[in-house]
Each structure stands twice: as C-alpha cells, then as structure tokens.
Amino acid sequence: MRVIGTVAELQALADRERAAGAKIALVPTMGALHAGHLSLVDVARKRADRVWVSIFVNPTQFDSADDLSRYPRTREQDLQCCRDAGVDVVFAPECDEMVGSAGQTWIEAGEPAQPLCGRSRPGHFRAVATIVVKLLLAAKPHLAVFGEKDYQQLAVIRSVVRDLGFDVEIVGAPTVREADGLALSSRNVQLHPEARRQAVALVRALDAAEGALASGEFDAARLLQRATAEIEKAPLARIDYVELRDAISLGPVAEKLVNPALLALAVYFDSPERDAGRAVRLIDNRVLDPRRAVSSR
C-alpha cells in the first residue's frame, strides 16, 4: 500500500493508472475509520481495479475550533486498517496541502445544500463541496463512494458533480449500524456511556415513523410526531432538527406523503453532567417511500 501526501504525486499516479486502463475508486474519509468506512471500501473494490482512500480532516467544514480539535485522529490505526482491507493507495495530505493560504475559491452548491444541516451549520456544505472537488481533482477517480449516513452530503456532492459535469460516478453505500441500531460514526466514541445507551433513540425514531407509514399514516406532521416522541424519550437528547424532505431535491414535502421522502434527524446528546460544551451531535436518516407502503399493505 502506498501512502501519498501531495496532490501532484497523486495526480501523476492517477494519470499512469488511467493510461494503463485501470479503473480507480476513491473513498474520501476524515479518518477515525470504522466498519462503516470499510463497507465503502468493499463497495469500491467491487466496482474498480484500484481502491484509493483519502484521509483528511477538513478544518473548514467544522463549526468551531473546539469541535475540530475534539475530532478523533487515529492515523496509525487508520493506515493499518487500510492495509488490512487491501487498499491500494492512501492519500493523507497535511493540512497546508489542501487548504493553503490561497484557498479563497469556494464551491457553492445549490438547493440540496440549503435545508437541514445547511441551516444548522452555515458554511458546512460549501466547505464539504470544496474539499470534495479538490479530492476529485487530485485523485481523478472513475468513481467515488460516500456513505448514505451523510445523506445530505451525498445529495450535495451528486448535485455538484452533475452541475459541473464532472466525469466521475458518485456511488452511495448503505449505513452500517451497531447491534442496537446506532449508525456507525466517528463521533460515537465521543459519547458519554449513558448518552451512548440513549442514542439508540435515533434509530427507534426512524423505525417508529417507518412503522407508522407502513400502517397507513401518510400525514407528514404525524410521522414527524412519531419520530420526535421516540427521541424525547431519551433525557440526554436535544433535537437540532427532525424533518421530512423530498428524497431527491431535499425540497419541502406535501402534507400527505406522495413521493419518497427523507426523514432526517440531527440530535445533540449531552453528558449526564449537562456540560453543553461536550454535547455530541449525531445524525441519521431513512428514506420513507409511501408508494412502497401502499403496495405492501
């Protein structure tokens, strides 16, 4: 496995691999690799000749210096993890290589970047879109794999790639979950043990709404109530948002669901000491398809 630190070296290798006819898949990550990332590597491996993983904690997409400094960094384990998974290249640039003193150019994504985390975290998706474009220009992959856990991020990247006419296929891969249903996230390790237990409320909220839909509840407000009620059972949970959005455009949904809708959750979990500075924000989502609910009844 090669570990590459500069854009120029990665681009030169990409040119050689492409000229030799090899198909390159990129898996962009911020490190702190877990089984969710490895599932992306598996998807990449099935679709390409070369699997490249980038590990870069993009400082511009964090909401605060504190949030950035708390983000787990486990470089040596990550590299070993990639070796074990048969990754061909790890691109692990220093910060200056990716966000130098220049860095004044931003990719402003359109509609999918506006609601949900776009409203909660101003500037977040601009930073994500910009770094992903830079990674795609650095690795020149034929395809890039992103987790559906970050559904809105995936939607934003799809729209940027489509709008700019990037010659790369964007592949979404299903969320990987713990035994109790909590979606894997590098942020889970930051949870207080009690908050970790309560965090199962997220998947219970998704299950509750999906179950209600399957029982014939198409009313968006009532579906949201079902989800919210589950989260409110967790005393350490503070809701950032619980929303239904069109699954494709992320625009608003009708009062009664007609088209596939994204149920998206973002919830802070406090520690029992209620130290708000140590709250961990988790997200999760599920696409609710009213057409499938109708046909399965």
Catalytic residue set: 37
Phi, psi of 32 (to 5 degrees): 50, 50
Distances (CA, A) of 294 to 55, 69, 226, 236: 43, 47, 19, 36
Distances (CA, A) of 160 to 155, 170, 282: 9, 10, 25
Which one of 57, 116, 133, 191 is in contact with a copy of itself (CB under 8 A)?
133
> Which CB atom, from 97 or from 194, has the smaller least distance to a copy of itself?
97
Strand pairing report for 24-29 and 143-147: parallel
Q: Does 96 bind a copy of itself (CB under 8 A)?
A: no
Q: Does 102 bind a copy of itself (CB under 8 A)?
A: yes
Q: Return d(Cα 269, Cα 281) in angstroms, integer.
A: 6
Which one of 45, 50, 140, 245 is in contact with a copy of itself (CB under 8 A)?
140
Near a copy of itself by CB under 8 A, which window of 31-39, 70-78, 131-139, 287-295? 131-139
- Residues between 164 and 203 with contacts to a copy of itself, criterion CB under 8 A: 164-167
> Which CB atom, from 166 or from 268, has the smaller least distance to a copy of itself?
166
Angle formed at CA 282 by CA 279 and CA 286, multiple of 5 degrees: 160
Q: Does 21 bind a copy of itself (CB under 8 A)?
A: yes
Q: Return d(Cα 68, Cα 8) in angstroms, integer.
A: 27
Question: 269, 266, 258, 265: which is closest to 286 by C-alpha?
Answer: 265
Which one of 1, 7, 68, 143 is in contact with a copy of itself (CB under 8 A)?
7
Q: Does 86 bind a copy of itself (CB under 8 A)?
A: no
Least distance to a copy of itself from the beta carbon of 15, Å? 7
Distances (CA, A) of 159 to 1, 125, 140: 32, 12, 18
Q: Does 163 bind a copy of itself (CB under 8 A)?
A: yes
Count the site residues for a copy of itself by CB under 8 A. 32
> Which CB atom, from 49 or from 111, has the smaller least distance to a copy of itself?
111
Q: Does 138 bind a copy of itself (CB under 8 A)?
A: yes
Query: Is 285:183 a contact under the CB 8 Å cutoff?
Result: no
Near a copy of itself by CB under 8 A, which window of 61-69, 100-108, 207-215, 218-226? 100-108
Q: Return d(Cα 23, Cα 158) in angstroms, integer.
A: 20
Element (H, E) at 246: strand 237-246
Distances (CA, A) of 114 to 185, 188, 252, 255: 23, 26, 11, 20
Which one of 41, 92, 107, 282 is in contact with a copy of itself (CB under 8 A)?
107
Q: Does 129 bind a copy of itself (CB under 8 A)?
A: yes
Which residues here bind a copy of itself, judged by CB under 8 A? Answer: 7, 11, 15, 18-19, 21, 98, 102-111, 129-130, 133-134, 137-138, 140, 159-160, 162-167
